[in-house]
Amino acid sequence: MTAFDNSYARELAGFYTPWAGAVTPAPKTLKFNAVLASELGLDPVEWTADVLTGATAPVGATPIAQVYAGHQFGGFSPQLGDGRALLLGEVIDSHGNRRDIALKGSGRTPYSRGGDGKAVVGPVLREYLIGEAMHALGVPTTRALGAALTGERVLREAGPLPGAVLARVASSHLRVGTFQYFAAQQDHAKLRQLTHYAIARHYPDAATADVPALALLEAVRDAQAALVAKWMGLGFVHGVMNTDNMTISGETIDYGPCAFIDTFDERAVFSSIDTGGRYAYANQPPIAQWNLARLAEALLPLIDEDTDAAIAKAVPVINDFAPRYEAAWTAEFRAKLGLTTAQDGDADLINALLAALQGKADFTQSFRQLAATLRGKDALPDSSALQAWMPAWRARIGEDKNAVATSMDAKNPLYIPRNHLVEEALDAATAGDTGPFEELLEVLAQPFLAQAGKDRFALPAPSDFGRYTTFCGT
């Protein structure tokens, strides 16, 4: 039997509303992640379709809807919360780590704000697919425990679609917006309680710092700097970096309008609602810093009773995001280019490559092609800018080219969730065929290894795929 230990529900009364998922007419399991379930110590027999859709709570769970606030595209909403999600509870995994198990799409809650609280199969499987792909790529992320159909049709702009629910696992669902909610309420007692809980759960060393709230801010800064550097190294565009989608743990959360760049474009935007490009690829680092500043604002009363003094302590922490991110980003791209040591001028070399790729070459393929050239293959696209860049890189990597190529292939994926393949899989699943989803999921589980018969999964979108647009559809 699954052993739940629900510290959030137990210790943070007033931070949530007890709730239950909606009854579903004909629940059916679509996919269950048995490997993850084993890591979490779960008995798969208990995780029936009824449980995965939220109609029945597992024994020992304490289902709740969490409350939080958030800046959405720069505008502050003082109350958001789990509008279509339920935190079932927490388990201690096989590594001794506390993990949340939550549902997404399980029906209306007190925080639904007029929405139906439901989800449809396409976006549910998108989050399943990309979350698991990010895990395989080494990116901190929420993960998918399972997905289930509800047996009902859910009305969306495209018409009635099959309803579905995602079971999601996270280190926690604490967000910047969680702190913003209690700061906006000017409830300093609850803000302090939340801060103590977050520190104990994620950054216990901060508890012994002179100013624990400031140490928490520093820890979140470092986690987010490292996370966004990994996004940038993969050409990943999150698409909706609102403060309610920025975790305290440093995990990627919410994959609604996300996408991966094909032809490199630092201005890449895919979300249909991001008309101003606020969350474009190149804007992700400064937006992460902006979000961190909002966390700092929420924590000011706990940093120092004097507001001016608190600001004076918090500002250097925020300002230090940029150099820490730059260090993480440079390290990420050094590894992508097979550079095993740090030298002055590496950032210039990396930026020169990105300038050469801009609008001309596939981002993911280019790094594998560079490695192939070290093995004597003529693999690069016909680009004068890229050819002009090559001599400086070759001079930088030294003589042991085979070792460099091997290290590059271990760092640079051959397979990513290509947008056209994701859409192909989701369209088929919506029509009732999960075969393409299963095949893509299997390929993405080993992103760095060439797989026989899977060549098409490494290719960019065909020319007739057109401009890709994503939607916040979960």
Average pLDDT for 415-426? 97
pLDDT at 473: 62
Residue 244: active-site member? yes
pLDDT greater than 80 at residue 405:
yes
Measured between alpha carbons, how far is 216 from 226 in angstroms, rounded to an integer? 16
Backbone angles phi, psi at 246, to 5 degrees: -115, 115
Band the pLDDT of 1: cuts 50, 70, 90. Answer: low
Whose tokens are 């859709």? That residue is 53
Mean pLDDT of 300-328: 98
Model pTM score: 0.96
Report pLDDT digits (tens) over 101-143. Answer: 999 999 999 999 988 999 999 999 999 999 999 999 999 999 9
Q: Among all chains, which residue has been given the structure tokens 């890449």?
A: 268
State how beta strands 85-92 and 98-104 pair. Answer: antiparallel
Give the Cβ contact number of residue 442 at 10 Å: 12
Residue extents of the structural domains in the chain: 7-170, 176-329
**pLDDT at 395 > cutoff 80:** yes
Asked if residue 76 has pLDDT above 80, the reply is yes
Rg (CA), the chain: 23
245 to 195, 316, 330, 394, 472: CA distances (angstroms): 18, 24, 25, 40, 13
What gap in Å lies between CA 292 and CA 91, rounded to an integer? Answer: 28
Distance between CA 214 and CA 143 in Å, rounded? 29
Q: Mean per-residue pLDDT for 391-413?
A: 95
pLDDT bin (cut points 50, 70, 90) of residue 380 is confident
Lookup: tokens for 333: 């791209």
Catalytic residue among 244, 265, 274, 362: 244
Integer CA distances (angstroms), 206 to 199, 202, 420, in order:
6, 9, 44
CB atoms closer than 10 angstroms to residue 19: 20
Predicted pLDDT at 2: 76
Identity of residue 299:
L
Q: What's the CA gap between 444 and 167, in Å, rounded?
A: 20
Nearest to residue 336, comparing CAs of 432, 243, 241, 264? 264
Cβ atoms within 10 Å of 369's Cβ, excluding its own: 18
Q: For residues 143 and 133, give the distance between their C-alpha atoms in angstroms, rounded to a whole number.
A: 9
Place of tokens 């070759």: 394
What tens digit of pLDDT does each residue of 179-235 get? 999 999 999 999 999 999 999 999 999 999 999 999 999 999 999 999 999 999 999
pLDDT, position 114:
86
